[in-house]
Chain A
Amino acid sequence: MKHFITLLLLLVTFAAVAQTTPETTDVQQATMERFAAVQTIQSNFTQEKHLSLLTAPVISKGTFAFTKTPSRLRWENTEPFQNGFLLLENETFRLEKGLKKPIKHAMASQVATQMKMWLTFDLAALSKAHTLDFFDGGVRLTPKKENGIFTEITVWFSKQNPQALEKIRLNETNGDYTLLTFTNTKINEPISEENF
């Protein structure tokens, strides 16, 4: 059967991401270790979209849950629309009105994986493609290469719990931005299996 695989989609083999070893500062190292210790996250979020192609900013609300082992993430908007996505180990699902729909499309799956990197603040992965500029209470991430999407990502750590995030602001190239605010965040607390 070794002869028989023709699919084009499968031949979409992703090239290796350049593996550079960034200089690791003490702050970065400490932050990395702090977030590496996060095993589970549960949180509510509010998302503000300020987009030029919309007539008005849009505010959405929802819930977010993550477990490191096994690797699972659920991001679900509850209002105004009920949608989101679910990453389970090696599978990706779209959430539509509470229902799980598998995503086979490589690109959609890639988008979801990208989201996971931000939401779990995977600093090791993020630092490969971004330069990090730590400030009091947060960090600014600037893409090393222009990607046509973001100019800057700013992350604010929670004052109550240094292992949690308070806000993420994603600045886009055309001046648009998205602001995520996390509330009622619980770190390393057991998460019900029903979430996944």
Chain B
Amino acid sequence: MNFSAITTQFVSWWKRLKQSKGLLGAGLVFITALCCVTFWAFVQPQDSLHILIPGSVREQMELFEKSPFNQKVFVVVTSQKDTDLLAHAHMVQNYLTQQGLIRPGFNPAPDFALTLLHALPFRFLPTDREPVLEKITQEAVAASTQENYERITSLEGVLLRPLIQADPFHLLEIMTRKLAAFNPQTNLDYRDGFLTTGKGNTLVGLYDLARPARFNNAQRFSEAIKQLNAQLPEGMEVFYLGGLRYTAENVSLIQHDLRYVSLLGIICLILVFCLLLRSAHALFIYALPLLILPVAALGTYAVFGNISGITLGFGSVVAGLSVDYGIYLFFAIVHGNLPATLAAQKLRRHIGCTFLTSSLCFVALFLSSVEVFRQIAVFALLGLTAALLIALFILPLYWENLSTKKRTLSAATEASLLQSPILAGLLSAVIIAFGIWGFYHTRLSSDLETMNASSPLLQKQKSVLDDVFTEAETKNAFIFVKGRTIEEALENNERISLSLPVPLATAEMIPSEKGRESRLKQWKDFWSRERIEDAQELLQQSAVRVGFSPKAFDPFFEWLDNPESQSLFDFTKIYNPVIALEDGSFAVVNFVPNTPQVQEIATDANVVYVTAPELKNGLMQSMKKETLRIALLAFLFNLVAVTVVFNSFRKALLAFIPVGLAICFTFGCFALFKVEVNLFALVFLPLLMGLGIDYGIFQLEKSETAVMQLYPPVALVAAGLSTLAGFGVLIVAKHPVLHMMGLASCVGVGSAMLVSLLILPPILERTK
């Protein structure tokens, strides 16, 4: 069957279907229901960090987020009084473990020091030769033997005996130095497994979560912390921080917001309906989003193989845009005294152009490297296409009997418009000046924290933790060394370590298989028979002199003869620095001093070097660039499209007046009311452009048409207010991202609507 035959077949099928509106409606409802069922049955919205990050910093961000300590929960016990903080910190730890909220940490048995010592041969490097030689000189042996005697005869000597016998020369110090290299440059102390500062009134436990960091588990954690606080003495407090806490705060706040925002949105839509639409037929307009959103969601899932919750949340914007098509058509029929199908035909260029401009904004969004933006773009394009088809071809079928009685409110609205082009020009100049002032005075927050919901309590508690860790963040950096396999990553890590001024702690403590074999060989070569006999003789002399029995240190020499005899301890049980990456490769995570020298070596070695402040800054900069690029592309695409549609560059520029002035007005207001603008206000910019251009096109079409009644101002008011009812009500949200989107849409869409109604018509009249 060729294309022509298919088209003929389709037209014939469509004609038959048009005769049966009931069947058509049932078909639409069936398709929607089918999409809904399919979606809920098979699709699980996913929100990984990966999809939110611009391509330029994605690798760094992904590595940073996957780093072992980033997966941990921080449980902070703090006290203002001089109370037994340590005991209470242990109590908190035990309680959370018993509740199944945290995984029991590594518990060093009393013989852990011995285990650490026995790990030395497999970590023995050429750089360790000198320190060991220094420990087996006559003076050093005399000193260590005397110290051993004092320790063994002290009370705690009871616990230290096995270690003293196994380590007469204090070789354990070499291992503790290697272990201590994990310690970044901080003012932190470690006390019984907890972090603390010099003040000592705060103890921080770092734990692995026993369950995934989902909202219900976050709630359980919060509840446990509440119960613990009730058990602690007065003046002492326990709280937790980390991704889990943010999940708890964000989700509960969003749930709270959505309840109120939905209620307010419904009330606003009812008001718009009662004031401006007042027709049962108009209910179809608000049914439109219900028909298109499931299709758009399923289509987006089919394209990407996953869909983000953010993309789904963005449905309200698409819903707002799709409603506009129905509103324009509804008022064209009502005010134009035309049959519905004829009104739809006459409005095709306008609605088509509106669809084109909105779609081009989303095409610009699709060109972003941020996957969630691309998802949103596909979601919106699918939704808008469905809305366009329904508005132009299906809604008119149901509106054939629509009343064409003119409304009094629209007449009143029309009468209130500005008439003077000079006044309109002056007002425009004032808004532009306001906007320029606003651009220079708007405060743009570069802190990613401003996009998280954080209650005053969380802010206060976070400041306690910041006191403890600020220095760690500024003085240290991450080095990620990658490899196709764990072994390769560890080998590469050892190679990089050799070129650094201070070796990497991970390379020292967690060597590759090859590394372990090579180090053991070096240990055996070092402890030659001759060297062992010399050391034994020296020790014997000193030991007997202070009061040790001749065989006191036999365990040490037995171990030297056979270092493999001791069971090997797996240090990754304490800390596993190897992370698995999305592409199947692996990376070793290192925490190093943040110095230019280390950075240079790391960069030369082609490994990923990341510091938290630089990463935050890089992320912010790339998001800004990304957003501005999208806005610029959206502007260019739309300018070309409107120029082509109206066959006039001048007219295209006129269509941009509402959006241009709305952006100026929005920034002016941000500066005037000292609004700290977060990233989401910028993301809103292209959207505002899409909506603003639509209003400009509406007035441009009106100024060109012979049937002006097809474009009553009330249609624009209803479209603008519907968008504000669906989207602008987010302004009452407490969550900073939702609030910012609501604020930007209220000011931006509201001002674009007013500019289109008040300022653009006299200018268009003047330029005719």
A positions within 8 Å CB-CB of B: 1-17, 19, 47, 49, 51-56, 58, 60, 70-71, 75, 77, 80-81, 83-85, 89-92, 104-107, 109-115, 147-150, 170, 172, 176, 178, 180
Contact = CB atoms under 8 A, between A and B. Distances in A.
B548 interface: yes
A114 B160 CA distance: 12
Contacts of A109: 191-192
A2 B242 contact: yes
A47 B155 contact: yes
A3 B591 CA distance: 11
Interface string B67-95: 11110101000000011111100100110
B509 interface: yes
27 contacts: A1-B465, A1-B466, A1-B473, A2-B469, A3-B64, A3-B70, A4-B69, A6-B589, A7-B182, A7-B195, A9-B179, A12-B106, A13-B194, A51-B161, A53-B161, A54-B153, A54-B548, A55-B548, A77-B154, A90-B203, A106-B193, A109-B191, A110-B192, A111-B110, A111-B156, A115-B156, A149-B110
Contacts of A180: 155
Contacts of B473: 1, 3-4
Contacts of A92: 191
B158 A11 contact: no
B104 interface: yes
A18 to B, nearest CB: 10
Contacts of A115: 155-156
Interface residues of B, number: 84
A13 B205 CA distance: 7
Contacts of A3: 64, 67, 69-70, 473, 612
B98 interface: yes
B74 A2 contact: yes
Contact of A111 (B159, B191, B205): B159
A148 B496 CA distance: 41
B192 A106 contact: yes
Given A14-B108, A178-B155, A9 B183 contact: yes
Contacts of A7: 182-184, 188, 190, 195, 591
B113 interface: yes
A15 B200 contact: no
A15 B574 CA distance: 12
A53 B548 contact: yes
B182 A12 contact: no
B86 A89 contact: yes
A78 to B, nearest CB: 12
Nearest to A12: B193
B203 A5 contact: no
B69 A6 contact: yes
Q: Which among A14, A91, A147 has the greatest number of chain B C-beta atoms within 10 A?
A: A14
B263 interface: no
B620 to A, nearest CB: 16
A83 B156 CA distance: 11
Contacts of A19: 94, 98
A89 B88 CA distance: 11
Contacts of A10: 188, 190, 193-195, 206
Given A53-B165, A77-B154, A4 B86 contact: no
Nearest to A8: B182
A155 to B, nearest CB: 15
Contacts of B472: 1, 4-5
Contacts of A178: 155, 158
Contact of B469 (A5, A14, A113): A5
B527 interface: no
B193 A14 contact: yes
Contacts of B424: none
Contacts of B194: 10, 13
Contacts of B195: 5, 7, 10
Contacts of A70: 82-84
A12 B109 CA distance: 11
A68 B418 CA distance: 83
Contact of B161 (A13, A147, A172): A172
B84 A90 contact: yes
A92 to B, nearest CB: 8
B549 interface: yes
B549 A106 contact: no
Contacts of B165: 53
Nearest to B553: A53
